[in-house]
């Protein structure tokens, strides 16, 4: 079966053109037809009505939404998160864990495996992201101190037998942290640093072992200082390092967002949500990792000390925020929502609207709200 998506304002990395038609054949994009071209016949023709048409978003750091957390280890939680992430334009998702015991982590991964096996019509889930438990106990944020432990590649291997582990975020300065990056890479897993008090020299030791990623940049990591530039300095100084940004204007203020886009190559920036179960939900009382959370005006904070406890951000809103704050062309900014993630994780044929790429496509309103979402060429959401 083929589908023709016509009258598109296509925005893809380095490409911005109106009145384009996109021919989808099976799971992939077959051809683009520019303005004035004769259009082919198709089994189905859908009019995008001149709206923005962008590559499906990839959220590599998301704990939950719609009242559920991935580590609830309940099938309803996994299924609901993966389906409801379509509402924000996400077509590929890495469900993200918390600092918990191995039994709870294993149970969560089992739900991801069952979701993929079921064939439910939500996001693609190529693997999971382990955030913790190998973090610095002095940089907890909203992670549970009861389950913090040292890096253990054998534990990661056991978990990966249940369901692929695509990424692990940990503290590079803890015992064994430097070589842990190379151990993860040997398993085909992307290492990243966060919840860390690392000095720049400690980051460099991990970088020599292949670490090229910093999770929720600026948050729960050593800041820029004139005697030691820390992890924030590392993210700016090291050109090959990817940085993840939670652009809700709360975790990072607008001035800092603009500064980072001015200083860092856009191709090394990834927009993430770090969303918890309150995303897509009203303000109120929630929890994360067993810790009580109060959400007020969309900000999620631990009830005990007011620390930020993830976000309620959606990817479409993050893109809108960055566009309004930086004023940069969308053909540049759109790299940060999927292409860069695909490059950082080695996900092939994702993140562009080009022939041969998977037809993971989002039609956005002028206000950046998803109107239609295609996954592997299949229309899975229509607002």
Name the residues annotated as catalytic: 274
Query: Which has the closest alpha carbon to 81: 247, 280, 246, 369?
Result: 280
Query: Which has the closest alpha carbon to 360: 121, 154, 57?
Result: 57
Range 115-118 contact pairs with CB under 8 angstroms and sequence separation of 24 or more: 115/75, 115/78, 115/79, 115/82, 116/163, 118/79
Half-sphere exposure (CA, 13 Å, Cβ side) for 327?
3
Q: Where do we find the tokens 């309620």?
A: 312
Burial class (CB in 10 A: 0-12, 13-18, 19+), 243: buried
Characterize 251-285 residue by residue with b for buried, 16 or more Cβ atoms within 10 angstroms of its Cβ, and e for exposed.
Answer: bbeeebbeebbeebebebbbbbbbbbbbbbbeeee
Task: List the Cα angle 257/260/265 in 5-degree steps.
Answer: 130
Burial class (CB in 10 A: 0-12, 13-18, 19+), 359: buried
């Amino acid at each position: 079966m083929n589908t023709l998506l016509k009258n598109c304002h296509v925005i893809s990395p380095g490409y911005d053109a109106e009145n384009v038609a996109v021919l989808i054949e099976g799971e992939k994009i077959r051809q683009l037809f520019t303005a004035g071209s004769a259009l082919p016949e198709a089994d189905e023709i859908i009019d995008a009505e001149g709206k923005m048409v962008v590559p499906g978003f990839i959220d590599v750091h998301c704990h939950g939404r719609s009242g559920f957390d991935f580590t609830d280890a309940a099938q309803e939680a996994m299924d609901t998160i993966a389906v409801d992430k379509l509402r924000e334009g996400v077509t590929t998702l890495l469900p993200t864990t918390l600092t918990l015991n191995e039994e709870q982590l294993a149970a969560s991964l089992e739900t991801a495996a069952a979701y993929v096996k079921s064939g439910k019509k939500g996001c693609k889930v190529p693997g999971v992201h382990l955030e913790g438990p190998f973090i610095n106990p002095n940089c907890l944020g909203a992670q549970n101190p009861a389950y913090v432990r040292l890096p253990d590649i054998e534990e990661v291997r056991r978990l990966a037998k249940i369901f692929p582990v695509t990424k692990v975020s940990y503290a590079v300065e803890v015992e064994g942290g430097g070589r842990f990056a190379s151990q993860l890479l040997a398993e085909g897993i992307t290492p990243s640093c966060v919840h860390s008090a690392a000095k720049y020299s400690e980051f460099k030791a991990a970088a020599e072992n292949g670490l090229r990623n910093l999770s929720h940049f600026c948050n729960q990591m050593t800041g820029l200082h004139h005697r030691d530039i820390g992890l924030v300095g590392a993210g700016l100084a090291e050109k090959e390092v990817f940085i993840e940004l939670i652009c809700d204007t709360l975790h990072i203020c607008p001035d800092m967002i603009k500064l980072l886009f001015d200083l860092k190559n856009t191709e090394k920036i990834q927009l993430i949500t770090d969303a918890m179960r309150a995303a897509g939900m009203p303000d109120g009382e929630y929890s994360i990792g067993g810790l009580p959370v109060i959400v007020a005006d969309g900000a999620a904070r631990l009830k005990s000390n007011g620390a930020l406890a993830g976000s309620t951000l959606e990817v479409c809103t993050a893109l809108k925020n960055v566009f309004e704050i930086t004023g940069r062309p969308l053909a540049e900014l759109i790299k940060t929502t999927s292409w860069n993630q695909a490059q950082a994780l080695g996900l092939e044929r994702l993140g562009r609207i080009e022939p041969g790429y998977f037809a993971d496509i989002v039609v956005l309103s002028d206000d950046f709200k998803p109107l239609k979402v295609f996954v592997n060429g299949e229309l899975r959401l229509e607002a």
